[in-house]
Amino acid sequence: DIQMTQSPSSLSASLGDRVTITCRASQSIAHYLSWYQQRPGKAPKLLIYSASTLESGVPSRFSASGSGTDFTLTISSLQPEDFATFYCQQTYSPLQTFGQGTNLEIK
């Protein structure tokens, strides 16, 4: 199975900061990488698919890049509603695996 490793596992930042989360796959997954945001008690929300395509309705301060094994999610200027947990997911394989998550907290 393909393993996904996210870093950091937690991150403290201030409003207006630029933050980057990374995700590494244990083998090449081409561009089949999605990013999700999850707020406490809620279902995840799709932010990015196909490694870099912004889902409709997602603010443009979110961006992502990468291919093969290394991927990044960047939030350009943190807003109050951005503090949540973020997950990457590989969809290259039918057995689809998530990263362990990055908890983004307010500093």
Nearest residue (CB) to other proteins, 16 versus 94: 94
Pair 53, 34: CB distance under 8 Å: no
Q: How far is the CB of 39 from other proteins (least distance, A)?
A: 12
By CB atoms closer than 10 A (0-12, 13-18, 19+), residue 102 is buried
Q: Which two tokens stand for residue 55?
A: 């889902």
**Does 83 help bind other proteins (rule: CB under 8 A)?**
no
Which residue in the set 43, 60, 80, 107 belongs to the binding site for other proteins (CB under 8 A)? 43
**Does 93 help bind other proteins (rule: CB under 8 A)?**
yes
**Does 92 help bind other proteins (rule: CB under 8 A)?**
yes
**Does 69 help bind other proteins (rule: CB under 8 A)?**
no
Q: What is the rounded CA–CA span in Å between residue 23 and residue 70?
A: 6
